Amino acid sequence: MRDRIGRAAHDYFAGGAGAEITLRDNHAAWNRIALAPRVLRGVGERDTAVTLLGERRRHPVLVAPMAYQRHAHDEGELAMARGAAATGTPMILSSQTTTAPADVARAMGETARWMQLYVFRDRALSFEIVEAAREGGYEALVITVDFPLGGRRDREIASGFTATHPTFLNHGENLSPDVRHTRHDPDLTWDDIAVFAEASALPVVLKGILHPADAELAVQAGAAGLVVSNHGGRQLDTVVSGADALAPVIDAVDGRADVLVDGGVRRGWDVAKAIALGANGVLVGRHALWGLARGGAEGVERVLSDLVDEFDSTLALLGCRTPDELSRDHILTAPWA
Ligand SMILES: Cc1cc2nc3c(=O)[nH]c(=O)nc-3n(C[C@H](O)[C@H](O)[C@H](O)COP(=O)(O)O)c2cc1C
Ligand SMILES: CCCCCCC(=O)C(=O)O
């Protein structure tokens, strides 16, 4: 992959914060959960559909927001959108998209798209994102709350990645790591969430919650959903994985909002574990991105359809016909953990 996209882009996409302990643990944490199947339950007819933010979706997988996708493939977010749409997978478009949100919306067709928002010191830029979301028919605003500033990413610093494909916001300027990591407003508080909820008139999802007390505050702030996430291990090294943070957050939310999770999701059984713990949906980041880098829209389609097929067969092998039938009854702490 390094040869295909260059070392700097590769290390930007693949890398995490610090010594990448959390990055590695994100996938390992799913593997620490063992599954306890039930048998003889008549699972010939199955349906992977779930309800997310009140809408019925074909399956619980979404594409996570990821910046600068043209550095992975020439067609960037457009190819990601086509691959996602081909598999009925909602896509969350990064506010650092290198393709205009309106063009991505067209490529998604009837498939749901949500828009991710970074709140910058320069609020006008953030309101441009909100406006683009409204104009492009995006169905939710995903406000990322774990980025008061950029995490210290040793691998990215060593490789010196600079985003040279312009985003729709920065009007052509190159984004060196210094610029990328200091544009955000570190003074953002819970009070600011309502301003963006009101301006967008869209359901708001808060991405980057790990602590159950913050999950409670998110519900109180009116969030329709939240994403349990450590930003793919890219912000603060040694923080808890999404897999380990999930159950306490679900218990705190107690059905008052949708709960999604990300970090290290690679296999259909990872998705099943998340749903069994009580999540409504699962975001995949780098797994989809490597599909994009390898094969454009077709590469994304392959990765996502394999993941959903594997989720479907995991349902059968656990004795379930639908995601609703998954429960904590199917979960054990792995003896190998
Ligand atoms: C290259 C890259 C860029 C990302 N850019 C964004 C972004 O613009 N906004 C955001 O909220 N999260 C961003 N994330 C975090 C992802 O949305 C997601 O939380 C994370 O990738 C999930 O972990 P996974 O890659 O192991 O699936 C990015 C992640 C990666 C790998
Ligand atoms: C001002 C640009 C910040 C881009 C951050 C993208 C991201 O979330 C990540 O690299 O992680």
Residue 123 CA to ligand 1 center (angstroms) comes to 22
User: Does 1.10.3720.10 match the CATH number of domain 2-333?
Assistant: no
Of all protein residues, whose CA lies closest to atom 4 belonging to ligand 1? 66
pLDDT at residue 301, as a whole number: 98
* Predicted TM-score of the model (pTM): 0.97
Among 208, 183, 206, 182, smallest CA distance to 194 is for: 206
Residues in the chain: 337
What does the block give as tokens for 104? Answer: 């991505």
Q: At what angle do helices 242-253 and 268-277 cross, to 10 degrees?
A: 30
| Block mean pLDDT (10 aa), the chain, length 337 | 92 97 98 97 98 98 98 98 98 96 97 96 92 96 97 92 84 62 88 91 97 98 98 98 98 98 98 98 98 98 98 98 98 88
Pairing of strands 281-284, 61-63: parallel
Per-residue confidence (pLDDT) for residue 20, from 0 to 100: 98
Q: How far apart are alpha carbons 146 and 331 in whole angstroms? A: 29
| pLDDT at residue 171, as a whole number | 55
Q: Is 96 in the pocket of ligand 2 (CB under 6 A)?
A: yes
Please report the pLDDT score of residue 334 as a whole number. 87
The closest ligand to the CA of 65 turns out to be 1
CB atoms near residue 235 (< 10 Å):
23
Q: Is 153 in the pocket of ligand 2 (CB under 6 A)?
A: no
User: How confident is the model at residue 327, as a pLDDT?
Assistant: 98
For a pocket test of ligand 1, which of 21, 22, 66, 144 has the largest count of ligand atoms closer than 8 A to its C-beta? 66
**Burial class of 318 by CB neighbour count within 10 A (0 to 12, 13 to 18, 19+):** buried
Q: Identify the active-site residue in 184, 231, 287, 330.
A: 231
Cα 257 to ligand 2 centre (Å): 26
Known binding-site positions for glyoxylate: 12, 118, 153, 231, 234
Structure tokens at 298: 């077709």
Rg, Å, the chain Cα set: 19
Calculate how far, in angstroms, residue 12's C-alpha sits from the geometric centre of ligand 1.
11
> Would you call 198 exposed, middle or buried from its count of C-beta atoms within 10 A (0-12, 13-18, 19+)?
exposed
Report which protein residue has its CA nearest ligand 2's atom 6. 67
Q: Does the interface predicted TM-score (ipTM) exceed 0.85?
A: yes
Distances (CA, A) of 203 to 3, 250, 273, 334: 41, 19, 26, 37
Ligand 1 pocket (Cβ < 6 Å) reads 13, 26, 64-67, 94, 96, 116, 144, 207, 229, 231-232, 234, 262-265, 283-287
Assess whether 231 carries a catalytic annotation.
yes
